[in-house]
Amino acid sequence: MCAIQTVKCPHCRKETPLAGNPYRPFCSERCKMIDLGTWASEGYRIPGEKAPQHQDDDEDEG
């Protein structure tokens, strides 16, 4: 049975050890924080049609 020893960093694609890496699957804290920033700024999106907007504000007034 072969155990995975390294993985590619999702951000920079550098090979990084899986065991003993506190930032896994990233190679460093820098790559981890860049990825977090992309999530926070809504940089990752699934292509498709925009969801319809709800008119909840109009219902609360009545």
Indicate whether 58 pLDDT > 60. no
pLDDT band at residue 57 under the 50/70/90 scheme: low
5 part of a folded domain: yes
Q: Is 60 helix (H, G, I), strand (E, B) or coil?
A: helix
- The structural domain count of the chain equals 1
Which of 1-5, 37-41, 51-55 is most confident? 37-41
Domain hosting residue 4, numbered range = 1-42
Q: What is the mean pLDDT of residues 45-51?
A: 84
19 part of a folded domain: yes
Output the 3-class SS for 14-57. Answer: CEEECCCCCCCCCCCHHHHHHHHHHHHCCCCCCCCCCCCCCCHH
Indicate whether 60 pLDDT > 90. no
DSSP β-bridge partners for residue 7: 16
Residue 27's domain is classified under what CATH number?
Answer: 3.30.50.10
The tens digit of pLDDT for each residue in 9-46 reads: 999 999 999 889 999 999 999 999 999 999 999 888 88
